Amino acid sequence: MKNILTLLFVLFIGLATKGQWSYPTTKMVDSTDIYFGKPITDHYRWMEHLDDNSVQEWFKQQADYSHNILKNISGRDSLLNEFIALDKLQTTSYSGMVLVDSLWFYKKRMAGEPVASLYCRKIGQGKEILLFNPMTFKKGHTLNIKNFTPSTHAKNITIETAEGGGEVATIRIMKVATKQFYTDSLAPTLYGVSAWVNDDSFLYTAHTSFKEDAVEFHLNLKSMLHIMGTDRTRDKEIFSASKYKQLPIAPEDICYVTLDDEKKYLIGFLFTAANEYRAYYAPVSRIQNSAIPWKLLFKKEDKITNSLVHGKDLYMLTYKDAPNYRITRTNIDSPDIANAITIYKEGNNKISDISGTKDYLIITLTDGINNNIIKYNFKTAVSESIVRELQGQVSVVFSSNKTDSTIFGVTSWNRPFSLYDFNAKTNQYHKSRFDETVNYPGVDNIAVKEVEVPSHDGTMVPLSILYNKRAVLNGNNSCILTGYGCYGYSYSPYFSVMNLALINQGVVLAVAHVRGGGEKGENWHLSGYKTTKPNTWKDFIACAEYLINNGYTTRDRLAGTGTSAGGILIGRAITERPDLFAAAVCNVGDANALRSEYGTDGPANSKEYGTVQDSIECKALIEMDALSHVQKGIKYPAVLCATGINDARVAPWQPGKFAGALQNATSSNKPVLLRVDLNNGHFTENRLVTFSNFADQDAFLLWQTGDPNFQLNK
């Protein structure tokens, strides 16, 4: 029997190499909707019923089919081993540092460990204590610590864990002194614990639906108060549409209540996918009232994206009348947002973040590639530039209103991530006790070129190009171009061992900083948003043409990728210009934007993409919907769609539909695969799962762009 199976597989591979791909059957069933007079037929609507046994079987068949091909690409295993070997060079990595009183809490991952564990130690040279190991907590399962929050005086700590690459977590409470868990267990929650009120009670965001893959799971959320030792059914409803009907809280709004640093006020935030958020506030002293007297703090039209309270002052980061943002201040006791004082004006560089220490406001400026850090003295109102010697992406990793000591993280395309302790009072800084310097082989050979490329309408689009200095750039290099372009998120430079492994092999990597992102401020975001979304993939196409025209690669050796919301970018790039790419990866991607608001967190995402309920926005959704643009008989590039079956952000049927449609439509004889991870979600902390996923994706792209070291074994 084994010999027969082996013979059949060899025969299958032989046929596959001739371009005859025997995909699992993907049925086509007509389902037509009329959108403001325009009929759109969706042959793959049946995939949206993920509970259906036939749908589950189809995903499993696609998973098996793609696995049997991907595992037989020569070079795939060696690439995976290179990822793992480079990762192990960093023997210890730290993240999530929090200081409460004199006790540090942090996550630490040792070389070879798939996920990090939770530790604590006293400030200075205190002994390190292992609090929680997610790899041994549940026998036979590897959890990941999604979040942790120490109580007011570090007596207790909440630990949020998820499994299978999922983001939906369970909240448990540990007594720090004994490392023992209380019986309290709160699940499921996507947004978790927001703040401790004292050492015995905390605020968290709860769901009214427990079906994690349903739209309802993301609707009608509530902020709750949990008192330790009580059943969750007795938790007090703090902030929600059902409790406070007089407040304009929409079903898709995420309710999230926290406290100001002085623990004087409750601040209730309302989020969606939009950059700006709304907020209400009330005295903490009224938390036990049957009804909390919420008052409006700021509204959507104030365009505030970040805020913090210092003493009686409320500091706000806003893009109102300032596309590159400005910082304003008002009194928290009697806020007047409309007449708030501007304490830091808009400049040429975008203000991307603010955070606070005991005596200073820390301001992060960016030009899209490099950051500058400014400190603003709360008392004197004097601003000055600091840590100017640190080049690249400099960000605040830890700050607290209890101290002027903070921690900065620094990275860039060719600079491994490092941590620095910084004293805001003295401006002195040095390598952090949490930092470990690693000398990765080949880092010194990474060349970085930052250029700007004219797009279809003449707009200059930033493009980052990474390659090995020793590589001969003669147009015969495999090149992988990626981009994102959504939510005003900037695709900032960062160091990756996976990128290093590819560059060491002579692969050219490029990042297109397309419109829809935030590299050039809020106007850049709004230029790739809803009705202007086509600029996102047209910018990407322009960057692809630049790489070809300037000798970095050729059409036969160019690949494109997009992840999550970047699925719109890559999906429409290859459906609009299938001739331009040899291969593409749509990684957990929004390939069916027209149906996005009917899946997982889609109702909140409609604030970014648009809604089918509005005629103009619906037309824009049809235009950005990759699935609707797949045509029979077109020679599409080789495509790998990837999904995690536990994905709570982008429903698995989005990349599933796209893969099925391309398999049925393409005439190029190039493979179209659907990689399905049955034990993963949108992303995961588990390094081994991540490395295996991207080893498959990169091997596929290098195979299809003609790299001789990555070919299908016969």
Asked if 132 and 139 count as a contact pair (C-beta separation under 8 A), the reply is no
Question: What confidence score (pLDDT) does residue 645 get?
Answer: 85
As given in the structure block, the two tokens for residue 587 are 């990684």
Task: Render pLDDT for 238-269 as a digit per residue (tens, 0 to 9).
Answer: 999 999 999 999 999 999 999 998 899 999 99
Establish how many alpha carbons lie within 13 A of residue 47's alpha carbon, considering only the half-sphere containing its beta carbon.
26
Question: Is 500 in contact with 446 (CB distance < 8 Å)?
Answer: yes
3-state helix, strand, coil in the chain (%, to 5): 25, 35, 40
CATH 3.10.270.10 fits 13-85+480-704, yes or no: no
In the chain, DSSP finds a helix count (H) and a strand count (E) of 11, 38
Report d(CA 439, CA 494) in Å as an integer.
16
C-alpha to C-alpha distance for 158 and 403, rounded to whole angstroms: 23
pLDDT at 1 over 50: no
Among 473, 458, 474, 464, residue whose Cα is nearest residue 495: 464
Report how far residue 468's alpha carbon sits from residue 504's, in angstroms, rounded to the nearest whole number. 6
Q: At CA 524, angle to CA 521 and CA 526, rounded to 5?
A: 110
Residues facing 329 on adjacent strands: 315, 341
* pLDDT confidence of residue 15: 41
- pLDDT score for 700: 98
Kind of pairing between the strands at 479-483 and 460-468? unpaired
Residue 29, burial from CB neighbour count under 10 angstroms (0-12, 13-18, 19+): exposed
Give the C-alpha separation, 315 to 303, whole Å: 13
Torsion, Cα of 522, 524, 526, 527 (10° steps): 160
Helices 497-504, 76-88: crossing angle, 10 deg rounding: 130
Give the pLDDT score at 409: 97
Three-state SS annotation for 232-285: HHHCEEEECCCCCCCCCCCCCCEEEEEECCCCCEEEEEEECCCCCCEEEEEEHH
Count of CA atoms in the C-beta half-sphere (13 A) of 594: 27
Question: Does residue 637 have a cis peptide bond before it, meaning omega lies within 30 degrees of 0?
Answer: no
- pLDDT tens across 411-437, in order? 999 999 999 999 999 999 999 999 998
Q: Is 261 exposed, middle or buried (0-12, 13-18, 19+ CB in 10 A)?
A: middle
User: What residue type is 540 in one-letter code?
Assistant: F
CB 395 within 8 A of CB 364: yes
In which band, very low, low, confident or very high, does the pLDDT at 685 lie, cut at 50, 70 and 90? confident
Classify 42 as helix, strand or coil.
coil
Tell me the C-alpha distance between 50 and 653, whole Å: 8
- Band of the pLDDT at 601, cuts 50, 70, 90? low
Q: What is the pLDDT of residue 469?
A: 96
pLDDT for the residue 678: 80
pLDDT score of 209? 83
| Whether 249 contacts 241, CB under 8 Å | yes
Q: What are the beta bridge partners of residue 517? A: 515
Q: What is the pLDDT of residue 19?
A: 52
Are 490 and 476 contacting, i.e. CB atoms less than 8 angstroms apart?
no
Residues 6+ apart with CB under 8 A from 491: 483, 484, 511, 513, 517, 519
The rounded distance, in Å, linking the Cα atoms of 178 and 66 is 48
Lookup: tokens for 261: 């640093």
For 287-337, give the DSSP string.
TTSSS---EEEE-GGG-EEEEEEETTEEEEEE-TT-TT-EEEEEESSS--G
Cβ-proximal residues to 39 (8 Å cutoff; 6+ apart), any chain: 32, 33
Distance CA(329)–CA(309), nearest Å, equals: 10
pTM of the model: 0.94
For residue 644, CA distances in Å to 60, 588, 604, 681, 682 come to: 12, 7, 21, 4, 6
Residues in CB range of 296: below 8 A, 6 or more apart? 279, 280
- Per-residue confidence (pLDDT) for residue 18, from 0 to 100: 37
Taking only the tens place, the pLDDT of each residue in 192-250 is 999 999 999 999 999 998 777 678 888 999 999 999 999 999 999 999 999 999 999 99
Q: What is the pLDDT of residues 500-513, one digit of tens each?
A: 999 999 999 999 99
In this prediction, residue 165 has a pLDDT band, given cuts at 50, 70 and 90, of: confident
The secondary structure of residue 515, as a DSSP letter, is: B
Provide the pLDDT for residue 335: 97
Q: Tell me the C-alpha distance between 48 and 598, whole Å.
A: 9
| pLDDT of the residue at 6 | 37
Q: What is the pLDDT of residue 602?
A: 72
Nearest to 584, CA basis, from 601, 599, 567, 597: 567
Euclidean distance between CA atoms 574 and 627, whole angstroms? 11
User: Is pLDDT at 157 greater than 60 in this prediction?
Assistant: yes
- Under 8 Å CB-to-CB from 349, ≥6 apart: which residues? 324, 365, 366, 367, 372
| Distances in whole angstroms, Cα of residue 341 to Cα of each of 172, 279, 329 | 42, 19, 5
Range of lowest pLDDT (6-10, 120-124, 599-603): 6-10
Strands (DSSP E) found in 360-401? 360-366, 371-377, 383-386, 393-398
% residues pLDDT > 70 (the chain): 97
pLDDT number for residue 8: 38
The answer for residues whose C-beta is within 8 angstroms of residue 53's C-beta and 6 or more apart is none
Q: ∠611-614-615 over CA atoms, to 5°?
A: 120
pLDDT at 599: 79
How confident is the model over 17-71, as pLDDT tens digits? 335 799 999 999 989 999 999 999 999 999 999 999 999 999 999 999 999 999 9
Tally the residues of the chain: 714
- 500: which strand partners? none
Q: What is the pLDDT of residue 5?
A: 38
Tens-digit pLDDT profile for residues 632-674: 999 999 999 999 988 878 999 999 999 999 999 999 999 999 9
* pLDDT per position as a tens digit, 519-574: 999 999 999 999 999 999 999 999 999 999 999 999 999 999 999 999 999 999 99
From the list 675, 686, 709, the residue with the least C-alpha distance to 69 is 675
Residue 13: predicted pLDDT = 39
pLDDT over 60 (residue 3) = no
Q: Cα dihedral sign for 177, 398, 391, 125?
A: negative
Which residue do the tokens 């390659």 mark?
Answer: 467
User: SS3 for 500?
Assistant: helix
Indicate the SS3 state at residue 280: strand
At residue 201, the 3 state secondary structure works out as strand
Distances (CA, A) of 469 to 2, 411, 478, 548: 48, 20, 15, 19
Average pLDDT, the chain: 94
